[in-house]
A = this chain, B = another copy of it.
Amino acid sequence: MRICIIGFGSVGQGVARVFHMKRNRIKKDYDLDLQIVAVADSEGAVISEDGINPALLLETKQNTGRVSDYPDYGFSGVTGVDLLDTIDYDCLVEVTPTNICDGEPARSHMLKTMNTGRNVVTSNKGPLALGFTELRDTAQINKVMFKYEASVGGAMPIINFAHETLSGCEIKSIYGILNGTTNYILSRMAKEGSSYNQTLNEAKEMGIAETDPTQDVEGEDAACKVVILANSIMNMNVAYDDVIVKGISQITPESIQLAKKEGYLIKLIGEVSQDSLEVSPRLVSEGSPFAVEGTLNVATLKTDLADDVTVVGKGAGSIETASAILSDLISISKSMKNI
Protein backbone atom coordinates (compact mmCIF):
# COMPACT_ATOMS: atom_id res chain seq x y z
CA MET A 1 0.00 0.00 0.00
CA ARG A 2 1.56 3.26 -1.17
CA ILE A 3 0.88 5.98 1.38
CA CYS A 4 0.94 9.74 1.12
CA ILE A 5 1.15 11.61 4.43
CA ILE A 6 0.11 15.26 4.53
CA GLY A 7 1.01 17.00 7.77
CA PHE A 8 4.12 16.07 9.70
CA GLY A 9 3.57 17.36 13.22
CA SER A 10 3.06 15.18 16.27
CA VAL A 11 0.62 12.71 14.66
CA GLY A 12 2.41 12.50 11.29
CA GLN A 13 5.70 11.80 13.04
CA GLY A 14 3.93 9.20 15.19
CA VAL A 15 2.78 7.46 12.01
CA ALA A 16 6.35 7.41 10.65
CA ARG A 17 7.61 6.07 13.98
CA VAL A 18 4.96 3.32 14.02
CA PHE A 19 5.78 2.34 10.42
CA HIS A 20 9.44 2.14 11.38
CA MET A 21 8.68 -0.02 14.43
CA LYS A 22 6.10 -2.36 12.94
CA ARG A 23 6.47 -2.53 9.15
CA ASN A 24 7.92 -6.04 9.16
CA ARG A 25 5.44 -7.35 11.67
CA ILE A 26 2.48 -5.90 9.73
CA LYS A 27 3.85 -7.49 6.56
CA LYS A 28 4.02 -10.86 8.30
CA ASP A 29 0.73 -10.70 10.19
CA TYR A 30 -1.49 -9.05 7.56
CA ASP A 31 0.42 -9.50 4.28
CA LEU A 32 0.40 -5.70 4.07
CA ASP A 33 3.45 -3.72 2.97
CA LEU A 34 3.13 -0.13 4.16
CA GLN A 35 5.26 2.11 1.97
CA ILE A 36 5.46 5.89 2.36
CA VAL A 37 5.81 7.42 -1.13
CA ALA A 38 5.26 11.10 -0.28
CA VAL A 39 5.16 13.37 2.77
CA ALA A 40 4.33 17.07 2.94
CA ASP A 41 4.68 19.53 5.80
CA SER A 42 3.97 23.27 5.66
CA GLU A 43 7.36 24.02 4.06
CA GLY A 44 7.65 21.44 1.32
CA ALA A 45 7.60 17.76 0.51
CA VAL A 46 9.58 14.60 -0.04
CA ILE A 47 8.61 12.26 -2.87
CA SER A 48 10.00 8.85 -3.74
CA GLU A 49 8.22 6.10 -5.61
CA ASP A 50 10.72 3.59 -4.24
CA GLY A 51 9.66 4.42 -0.70
CA ILE A 52 10.80 6.87 1.94
CA ASN A 53 12.80 5.58 4.91
CA PRO A 54 10.78 6.50 8.02
CA ALA A 55 13.84 6.66 10.29
CA LEU A 56 15.73 9.00 7.95
CA LEU A 57 12.58 11.08 7.48
CA LEU A 58 12.18 11.52 11.25
CA GLU A 59 15.86 12.39 11.63
CA THR A 60 15.64 14.97 8.85
CA LYS A 61 12.57 16.61 10.36
CA GLN A 62 14.18 16.69 13.79
CA ASN A 63 17.41 18.21 12.52
CA THR A 64 16.13 20.90 10.14
CA GLY A 65 12.39 21.12 10.84
CA ARG A 66 11.63 20.43 7.16
CA VAL A 67 10.85 17.15 5.40
CA SER A 68 12.07 18.74 2.16
CA ASP A 69 15.61 18.43 3.48
CA TYR A 70 15.36 14.62 3.06
CA PRO A 71 18.43 13.71 0.96
CA ASP A 72 17.96 13.67 -2.85
CA TYR A 73 14.15 13.48 -2.85
CA GLY A 74 13.14 16.76 -1.11
CA PHE A 75 11.19 19.54 -2.83
CA SER A 76 11.00 22.87 -1.03
CA GLY A 77 7.77 24.87 -1.52
CA VAL A 78 5.73 21.93 -2.81
CA THR A 79 2.31 21.82 -1.08
CA GLY A 80 -0.03 18.99 -0.17
CA VAL A 81 -2.33 19.83 -3.09
CA ASP A 82 0.66 19.79 -5.48
CA LEU A 83 1.54 16.32 -4.19
CA LEU A 84 -1.91 14.89 -4.80
CA ASP A 85 -1.76 16.17 -8.38
CA THR A 86 1.55 14.56 -9.21
CA ILE A 87 2.16 11.32 -7.36
CA ASP A 88 0.70 7.85 -7.53
CA TYR A 89 -0.54 6.42 -4.23
CA ASP A 90 -3.25 4.21 -2.71
CA CYS A 91 -4.14 5.96 0.51
CA LEU A 92 -3.89 9.45 1.97
CA VAL A 93 -3.06 9.88 5.66
CA GLU A 94 -4.36 13.38 6.36
CA VAL A 95 -2.89 14.67 9.63
CA THR A 96 -2.61 18.45 9.20
CA PRO A 97 -3.63 20.58 12.22
CA THR A 98 -7.35 20.81 13.02
CA ASN A 99 -9.00 23.95 11.67
CA ILE A 100 -12.53 24.39 12.98
CA CYS A 101 -13.28 27.54 10.94
CA ASP A 102 -13.45 26.03 7.44
CA GLY A 103 -11.69 22.66 7.79
CA GLU A 104 -9.07 23.64 5.20
CA PRO A 105 -6.72 22.58 3.76
CA ALA A 106 -7.61 19.10 5.05
CA ARG A 107 -11.09 19.10 3.47
CA SER A 108 -9.68 19.79 -0.01
CA HIS A 109 -6.96 17.15 0.43
CA MET A 110 -9.52 14.50 1.35
CA LEU A 111 -12.02 15.37 -1.38
CA LYS A 112 -9.31 15.42 -4.06
CA THR A 113 -8.06 12.02 -2.92
CA MET A 114 -11.53 10.48 -2.89
CA ASN A 115 -12.44 11.98 -6.25
CA THR A 116 -9.41 10.28 -7.80
CA GLY A 117 -10.56 6.91 -6.44
CA ARG A 118 -8.24 6.65 -3.44
CA ASN A 119 -8.78 5.89 0.26
CA VAL A 120 -8.47 8.36 3.12
CA VAL A 121 -7.45 7.88 6.76
CA THR A 122 -7.44 10.92 9.04
CA SER A 123 -7.14 12.18 12.60
CA ASN A 124 -8.33 15.63 11.58
CA LYS A 125 -11.47 16.75 13.44
CA GLY A 126 -12.03 20.05 11.58
CA PRO A 127 -13.46 18.91 8.23
CA LEU A 128 -15.37 16.06 9.90
CA ALA A 129 -17.05 18.38 12.40
CA LEU A 130 -17.92 20.91 9.69
CA GLY A 131 -18.89 18.74 6.71
CA PHE A 132 -19.01 15.05 7.56
CA THR A 133 -21.85 14.26 5.16
CA GLU A 134 -20.02 15.74 2.16
CA LEU A 135 -16.97 13.60 2.93
CA ARG A 136 -18.92 10.39 3.59
CA ASP A 137 -21.02 10.84 0.46
CA THR A 138 -17.98 11.60 -1.69
CA ALA A 139 -16.31 8.44 -0.41
CA GLN A 140 -19.44 6.39 -1.19
CA ILE A 141 -19.88 7.82 -4.68
CA ASN A 142 -16.26 7.03 -5.50
CA LYS A 143 -16.41 3.62 -3.77
CA VAL A 144 -13.37 4.40 -1.64
CA MET A 145 -12.83 3.89 2.07
CA PHE A 146 -12.90 6.76 4.54
CA LYS A 147 -11.65 5.96 8.04
CA TYR A 148 -11.27 8.39 10.95
CA GLU A 149 -10.95 6.44 14.22
CA ALA A 150 -8.09 8.71 15.34
CA SER A 151 -10.26 11.84 15.10
CA VAL A 152 -12.09 11.03 18.34
CA GLY A 153 -10.31 10.01 21.50
CA GLY A 154 -6.87 9.25 20.03
CA ALA A 155 -6.18 5.74 21.30
CA MET A 156 -9.64 5.25 22.82
CA PRO A 157 -11.33 3.18 20.10
CA ILE A 158 -14.96 4.14 19.61
CA ILE A 159 -15.96 4.50 15.95
CA ASN A 160 -14.78 1.13 14.65
CA PHE A 161 -15.81 -0.32 18.01
CA ALA A 162 -19.42 0.73 17.42
CA HIS A 163 -19.42 -0.20 13.71
CA GLU A 164 -17.71 -3.59 13.98
CA THR A 165 -17.46 -5.02 17.49
CA LEU A 166 -21.00 -3.95 18.43
CA SER A 167 -22.52 -4.57 14.99
CA GLY A 168 -25.45 -6.52 16.52
CA CYS A 169 -26.51 -3.56 18.63
CA GLU A 170 -28.19 -0.28 17.85
CA ILE A 171 -26.50 2.65 19.60
CA LYS A 172 -29.12 4.75 21.41
CA SER A 173 -26.85 7.41 22.88
CA ILE A 174 -23.21 8.18 23.66
CA TYR A 175 -21.99 9.84 26.80
CA GLY A 176 -18.30 10.58 27.29
CA ILE A 177 -15.31 12.42 28.64
CA LEU A 178 -13.90 13.34 25.24
CA ASN A 179 -11.12 15.74 26.24
CA GLY A 180 -8.07 14.74 28.23
CA THR A 181 -6.86 18.22 29.24
CA THR A 182 -10.10 19.12 31.01
CA ASN A 183 -10.26 15.71 32.70
CA TYR A 184 -6.77 16.30 34.02
CA ILE A 185 -7.66 19.75 35.37
CA LEU A 186 -10.90 18.60 37.04
CA SER A 187 -9.25 15.49 38.54
CA ARG A 188 -6.44 17.59 40.04
CA MET A 189 -8.88 20.19 41.40
CA ALA A 190 -10.82 17.35 43.11
CA LYS A 191 -7.70 15.80 44.58
CA GLU A 192 -5.80 18.94 45.61
CA GLY A 193 -8.62 21.38 46.30
CA SER A 194 -6.78 23.85 44.04
CA SER A 195 -8.38 26.64 41.99
CA TYR A 196 -9.13 26.43 38.28
CA ASN A 197 -6.48 28.99 37.27
CA GLN A 198 -3.80 27.49 39.47
CA THR A 199 -4.48 24.00 38.07
CA LEU A 200 -4.61 25.23 34.48
CA ASN A 201 -1.20 26.86 34.91
CA GLU A 202 0.19 23.65 36.34
CA ALA A 203 -1.21 21.74 33.34
CA LYS A 204 0.42 24.25 30.97
CA GLU A 205 3.77 23.79 32.70
CA MET A 206 3.48 20.04 32.29
CA GLY A 207 2.66 20.37 28.59
CA ILE A 208 -0.81 18.87 29.12
CA ALA A 209 -2.61 22.16 28.37
CA GLU A 210 -1.66 24.27 25.35
CA THR A 211 -0.44 27.87 25.72
CA ASP A 212 -3.84 28.94 24.39
CA PRO A 213 -6.09 26.32 26.00
CA THR A 214 -9.40 27.76 24.73
CA GLN A 215 -10.35 24.87 22.40
CA ASP A 216 -9.95 22.41 25.28
CA VAL A 217 -11.24 24.25 28.35
CA GLU A 218 -14.18 25.91 26.61
CA GLY A 219 -15.40 22.55 25.31
CA GLU A 220 -14.85 23.24 21.59
CA ASP A 221 -12.63 20.21 21.05
CA ALA A 222 -15.16 17.93 22.76
CA ALA A 223 -17.97 19.52 20.71
CA CYS A 224 -16.17 18.60 17.46
CA LYS A 225 -16.03 15.00 18.66
CA VAL A 226 -19.72 15.06 19.60
CA VAL A 227 -20.51 16.03 16.00
CA ILE A 228 -18.32 13.28 14.55
CA LEU A 229 -19.88 10.62 16.80
CA ALA A 230 -23.42 11.82 16.05
CA ASN A 231 -22.90 11.65 12.30
CA SER A 232 -20.78 8.53 12.08
CA ILE A 233 -22.24 6.26 14.75
CA MET A 234 -25.81 7.49 15.09
CA ASN A 235 -26.43 8.37 11.44
CA MET A 236 -27.42 11.92 12.27
CA ASN A 237 -26.76 14.89 10.02
CA VAL A 238 -25.53 17.64 12.31
CA ALA A 239 -22.76 20.24 12.42
CA TYR A 240 -20.73 22.08 15.01
CA ASP A 241 -23.29 24.85 15.49
CA ASP A 242 -25.93 22.31 16.58
CA VAL A 243 -24.01 21.55 19.78
CA ILE A 244 -24.69 23.36 23.07
CA VAL A 245 -21.23 24.01 24.50
CA LYS A 246 -20.20 25.00 28.02
CA GLY A 247 -16.62 24.71 29.27
CA ILE A 248 -15.06 24.26 32.70
CA SER A 249 -13.55 27.71 33.39
CA GLN A 250 -16.31 28.66 35.84
CA ILE A 251 -15.95 25.52 38.00
CA THR A 252 -14.90 26.36 41.57
CA PRO A 253 -13.06 24.15 44.09
CA GLU A 254 -16.06 24.64 46.40
CA SER A 255 -18.52 23.10 43.95
CA ILE A 256 -16.15 20.15 43.42
CA GLN A 257 -15.84 19.56 47.18
CA LEU A 258 -19.60 19.81 47.61
CA ALA A 259 -20.13 17.17 44.93
CA LYS A 260 -17.44 14.97 46.47
CA LYS A 261 -19.21 14.99 49.83
CA GLU A 262 -22.24 13.42 48.16
CA GLY A 263 -20.18 10.81 46.32
CA TYR A 264 -19.99 12.66 42.99
CA LEU A 265 -17.30 14.08 40.74
CA ILE A 266 -17.61 16.94 38.24
CA LYS A 267 -16.52 15.99 34.70
CA LEU A 268 -16.82 17.70 31.31
CA ILE A 269 -19.26 15.40 29.52
CA GLY A 270 -20.17 15.24 25.84
CA GLU A 271 -23.62 13.81 25.15
CA VAL A 272 -24.94 12.53 21.83
CA SER A 273 -28.56 11.45 21.50
CA GLN A 274 -31.49 12.13 19.20
CA ASP A 275 -32.70 14.76 21.70
CA SER A 276 -29.47 16.32 22.79
CA LEU A 277 -26.06 17.37 21.51
CA GLU A 278 -24.25 18.94 24.40
CA VAL A 279 -20.89 19.48 26.05
CA SER A 280 -21.10 20.64 29.68
CA PRO A 281 -19.82 19.96 33.19
CA ARG A 282 -21.92 17.25 34.87
CA LEU A 283 -21.98 15.17 38.02
CA VAL A 284 -20.88 11.53 37.73
CA SER A 285 -20.91 9.08 40.63
CA GLU A 286 -17.66 7.87 42.15
CA GLY A 287 -18.11 4.14 41.44
CA SER A 288 -18.97 4.66 37.77
CA PRO A 289 -16.60 4.15 34.82
CA PHE A 290 -16.61 7.95 34.47
CA ALA A 291 -14.63 8.38 37.67
CA VAL A 292 -11.35 7.97 35.73
CA GLU A 293 -8.58 10.44 36.42
CA GLY A 294 -5.74 12.09 34.56
CA THR A 295 -5.87 12.69 30.82
CA LEU A 296 -7.90 9.55 30.10
CA ASN A 297 -10.90 9.66 27.79
CA VAL A 298 -13.95 7.50 28.36
CA ALA A 299 -17.18 6.91 26.44
CA THR A 300 -20.29 4.90 27.24
CA LEU A 301 -22.44 3.63 24.41
CA LYS A 302 -26.01 2.93 25.43
CA THR A 303 -27.19 0.04 23.27
CA ASP A 304 -30.51 -1.70 22.68
CA LEU A 305 -29.21 -5.20 23.53
CA ALA A 306 -25.93 -5.05 25.43
CA ASP A 307 -27.01 -2.29 27.82
CA ASP A 308 -24.12 0.13 28.53
CA VAL A 309 -20.71 -0.63 27.07
CA THR A 310 -17.79 1.63 28.00
CA VAL A 311 -14.33 2.17 26.55
CA VAL A 312 -11.47 3.98 28.28
CA GLY A 313 -8.18 4.98 26.69
CA LYS A 314 -5.59 7.65 26.13
CA GLY A 315 -7.17 10.62 24.40
CA ALA A 316 -3.98 11.91 22.87
CA GLY A 317 -0.31 11.17 22.26
CA SER A 318 1.71 10.85 19.08
CA ILE A 319 2.20 7.07 19.00
CA GLU A 320 -1.20 6.36 20.55
CA THR A 321 -3.05 8.34 17.88
CA ALA A 322 -0.87 6.78 15.18
CA SER A 323 -1.94 3.34 16.42
CA ALA A 324 -5.55 4.18 15.55
CA ILE A 325 -4.40 5.26 12.07
CA LEU A 326 -2.52 1.98 11.67
CA SER A 327 -5.60 -0.06 12.63
CA ASP A 328 -7.60 1.88 10.03
CA LEU A 329 -4.95 1.13 7.36
CA ILE A 330 -5.07 -2.59 8.22
CA SER A 331 -8.85 -2.52 7.97
CA ILE A 332 -8.65 -0.88 4.51
CA SER A 333 -6.14 -3.48 3.39
CA LYS A 334 -8.43 -6.32 4.50
CA SER A 335 -11.34 -4.80 2.57
CA MET A 336 -9.25 -4.28 -0.57
CA LYS A 337 -8.27 -7.96 -0.50
CA ASN A 338 -11.90 -9.00 -0.22
CA ILE A 339 -13.09 -7.04 -3.25
Contact = CB atoms under 8 A, between A and B. Distances in A.
Interface residues on A, range: 35 or more
Interface string A306-317: 111111111001
Contacts of A169: 323, 326-327
A104 interface: no
A311 B165 CA distance: 12
A165 B327 contact: yes
Given A168-B330, A327-B165, A327-B166, A314 B320 contact: no
B308 A289 contact: no
A289 B287 contact: no
Contacts of A293: 287-288
A187 B18 contact: no
Given A166-B327, A168-B330, A312 B309 contact: yes
A323 B306 contact: yes
Interface stretch (A74-82, A156-164, A207-215, A216-224): A156-164
A319 interface: yes
A292 interface: yes
Interface in A284-311: 286-289, 291-294, 296, 298, 303, 305-311
A157 B309 contact: yes
A309 B305 contact: no
B168 A161 contact: no
A330 to B, nearest CB: 5
A29 to B, nearest CB: 9
* Most central of A26, A303, A307, A329 by chain B CB within 10 Å: A307
A165 B155 contact: no
A164 B165 CA distance: 8
Given A164-B164, A169-B323, A326-B305, A187 B156 contact: no
A116 interface: no
Interface of A: 18, 21-22, 25-26, 30, 155-157, 160-161, 164-170, 187, 286-289, 291-294, 296, 298, 303, 305-314, 317, 319-320, 322-327, 329-331, 338
Q: Which 5 A-B pairs have the closest CB atoms?
A: A168-B326, A305-B323, A155-B306, A338-B338, A168-B327
17 contacts: A22-B168, A155-B306, A155-B307, A157-B166, A157-B309, A160-B164, A165-B327, A167-B330, A287-B293, A287-B294, A289-B289, A289-B292, A289-B296, A310-B311, A310-B313, A311-B311, A338-B338
